[in-house]
Structure 1
Amino acid sequence: MASVTVISGVGEKLPAAFLVENHGYRLLFDLGEGPQPGVRPDIQAIGRVDAICLTHSHGDHIGSLQAREALGNPPVYASRQTWQQIPEQWVDERDRYVLPLKGHLSVGPLPLLCGRSGHAPGAIWFHLPDNGGLTYMGDWSRESLLLPFDPPPAANLLITDASYGDRTEPLVDQIEQIALAVKGGAVLPVPVNGRGPEMALQLLSRGIRVLLCPEIRKEIAALLAEPSGICSRLQLQLLEVLHHQPEQPDYTQGQVIIATDAIADSGLAAKLSQRRGFRFIFSSHTAEGTRAREMLDAGQARWIPWNVHPPLGDQLELIRATRARKVIAAFVAEHDVRQLAARSPAPLIWEREITF
């Protein structure tokens, strides 16, 4: 028998940390912090682990990596793109192991399969075939036009990203709302290594000129350098986005500006949030204590969602396609997934210790 221990990530919007034990080997999927500032998993509850596998580089999945010493300084596995996004000082080069974006691999004695999750550049899911199968999705989305999604195989136990609860609105409708809202100019804050490049593509395809912050420009260049991580038919369009950016941009009111970070706590978004006259439209989760939450509460900004996690319909389709017998709904409160619980062909479970 194998087991999963939920260290963090179930019952609320909490940082990811899921411990798998199989054949005496202890493998930790993700080790995050946030999204509420300072919220971390209980590191002491984990104990020593043999390896850490990362799904992607967002803070709520990697933000506690610097506490790795308390876990015995295990080796860390991630895709090449993810490693490019993680500060070098967080993990020594000798402890960094590169995973493919999709394919079969081994971590210690454990055979694994991984695939692209469609959530962020370099983001992947993991599948352990033993004992009927376990799939850990990390964060995922099937709605991105730029980032591919590889369907995972069948698994008895599915740990899925339920960040949006019972939300049903598709991304295409949200894009149309944002396209209307930015007329006359707006700042669109986005996460580092997130939806920025796709947002630029989608708005430009609707005839809306955008100005990008330096971080988003770097992200587009990185995507073009790793073409296996994006849909091939969009490579030329992505190159054109960069080509049409001015060398010395002047960020002024009346322009549509895509800038990091998503909550205006850092980057160009933070700087512009301190200037008068800029309209802000947030689209990410905005936790208490962030500049975004402060602006929204004061009526100084709007919030229009942009899906980077699965809506209800995609969630149900994944559960059916994987023929899961048990589902762990991660990163959500139980009362926010009543429709999912009622319509899922497999029961949602909320225990902290699960055998499979």
Structure 2
Amino acid sequence: MSVHINVLSGLGDKGPAAVVVETQGKRLLLDAGGALHPGDPITWANDLDVDAVLISHDHIDHIGGVAQLPAELPLYCTPLVAKALPKNRQWRPLPERGTIEVEGITVTTGQAGHSLGGVWLHLAVAEGVFYSGDACFESRLFPFDTPPPAGIALLDASYGVYDQSQQGCIHAISEHLMQPLVFPVPATGRALEMALWLTEEAKAWGLTLAIDAVIRANLAALLALPDTLRRPGTEAAIASVLARPDDTNAALMLVSDRDDAPAQWPDHRLLHTGYLTPERCAQLAAGDVLWQRWNVHLRASHLMALADQLGASHVVPLFTHLTDQPLSEWRKRLGKRLCTTPHFSTDARSTTFSTLGSFACPQ
């Protein structure tokens, strides 16, 4: 059984996620990412010909291109992710953890450790195709489920070869807490675990705290899920956050990111914890905002551990720069398993790679 992979977008840079897997006469689109920067065109959807689309989670670079797809194209996602779809878009349910048949292909899902309702995807074709979407081992709230073996691993490498622990990130953020701060965050991702941490820090240090209503609603949605879809022992902490009233004129504010700019918060400093747009990079360079990562993607060592656990013979690092130095680092880590060409085909006996694209798979 042959499998053809076509990475339409998301290889060689931080960009919209869109990967086509073709096998058994069917073509499945994994994610339908939108532009990270307002106004950027979405070109991957041009002349697209697929039988169904599977969405891993609801962040814009994975779901924001759905509006570009034909309305009649079957679309699969979890019920919580469906809330982010364009109004009246029809969809079919993916299990939060389980197995489903899509166009005759067995698709297994599991918790990806990254966001509310988010899953990884495994296709039971040839030696297996695994797509992480965005994934993390370190979330306090979201579990990461062990996937089945897969010969092809399409992995979240958003952080490149970065490998600092979450505890180190939290320590660095805590050093800024004695000043008025606003944390703009994705409301279904790190916002939820940061809400727990900030509530504990505010109590310990006598600080005032306010949490966006959207983030509170998502915490309530997480608490309503079966307890197996949360890290063990987190129910009481979530309930404590939901029971805590917001402080008037709080020094610390956790808000759903709405492209917040320094001028909107004259009495606070913005502290970003994730991807920075070019505009925010300029603000950081000028000293107008603060930045310290809160881990929500696979660190380099975790990516390696996942590739090893899968038994992958072809590993594609997605959503990361692959210029000379990073590419050299990945070659050291992955050796012949590294694949950085956007088009390749495999079967049980052989592997062939097209000559298209900017990168070549090392032999």
Same fold (TM over 0.5): yes
2:34 and 2:63 in contact (8 A); partners too: yes
Deviation at 1:232, TM superposition (A): 3.8
Q: How many residues align?
A: 337
Output the TM-score relative to the length of structure 1: 0.89
Corresponding position of 1:286: 276
Letter aligned with residue 230 of structure 1: R
Worse-superposed segment, 229-238 or 113-122: 229-238
Deviation at 1:43, TM superposition (A): 1.4
| 128, 134, 143: which one aligns with 2:129 | 134
- Give the unaligned 5+ runs of structure 1: none
Deviation at 1:179, TM superposition (A): 1.4
Deviation at 1:86, TM superposition (A): 2.9
Corresponding position of 1:230: 230
Worse-superposed segment, 197-206 or 141-150: 197-206
1:32 and 1:41 in contact (8 A); partners too: no
Larger proportion of helix: 1
Corresponding position of 1:173: 168
Corresponding position of 2:15: 14
Corresponding position of 1:88: 87
Task: For residues 74-117 of structure 1, give each alpha carbon's deviation from its aligned partner in whole angstroms, at most 9, with x where no partner exists.
Answer: 1110011111333434x1xxx31111111111112111111000
Deviation at 1:229, TM superposition (A): 2.8
Identity %: 30
Deviation at 1:25, TM superposition (A): 1.0
1:52 and 1:75 in contact (8 A); partners too: yes
Corresponding position of 1:79: 78
Corresponding position of 2:256: 260
Q: Secondary structure at the match of 1:355?
A: strand
1:107 and 2:109 are equivalent in the alignment: no
Corresponding position of 2:211: 212
Inter-partner Cα distance in structure 2 for 1:277 and 1:153 = 50
Deviation at 1:235, TM superposition (A): 1.2
| 298, 306, 325: which one aligns with 1:318 | 306
Inter-partner Cα distance in structure 2 for 1:214 and 1:282 = 19
1:145 and 1:231 in contact (8 A); partners too: yes
Corresponding position of 2:248: 250
Distance 1:120 1:55, change over 3 A: same
Deviation at 1:339, TM superposition (A): 2.6
Deviation at 1:11, TM superposition (A): 0.8
Letter aligned with residue 351 of structure 1: T
Q: Secondary structure at the match of 1:334?
A: coil
Inter-partner Cα distance in structure 1 for 2:263 and 2:60 = 22
Distance 1:250 1:205, change over 3 A: closer
Inter-partner Cα distance in structure 1 for 2:278 and 2:85 = 25
- Give the unaligned 5+ runs of structure 2: 347-363
Task: For residues 272-300 of structure 1, give each alpha carbon's deviation from its aligned partner in whole angstroms, at most 9, with x where no partner exists.
Answer: 742323111111111224xx334323311
Worse-superposed segment, 155-164 or 207-216: 207-216
Inter-partner Cα distance in structure 2 for 1:345 and 1:174 = 29
2:184 and 2:271 in contact (8 A); partners too: yes
Task: For residues 44-72 of structure 1, give each alpha carbon's deviation from its aligned partner in whole angstroms, at most 9, with x where no partner exists.
Answer: 242x2211000000000011101112xx7
| 156, 160, 166: which one aligns with 2:155 | 160
Inter-partner Cα distance in structure 2 for 1:64 and 1:340 = 29
Deviation at 1:176, TM superposition (A): 1.2
1:324 and 1:346 in contact (8 A); partners too: no
Inter-partner Cα distance in structure 1 for 2:302 and 2:285 = 31
Distance 1:165 1:337, change over 3 A: farther
Inter-partner Cα distance in structure 2 for 1:122 and 1:153 = 20
2:180 and 2:267 in contact (8 A); partners too: no
Inter-partner Cα distance in structure 2 for 1:166 and 1:39 = 28
Corresponding position of 2:360: none
Corresponding position of 2:315: 327
Q: Secondary structure at the match of 1:159?
A: strand
2:67 and 2:86 in contact (8 A); partners too: no
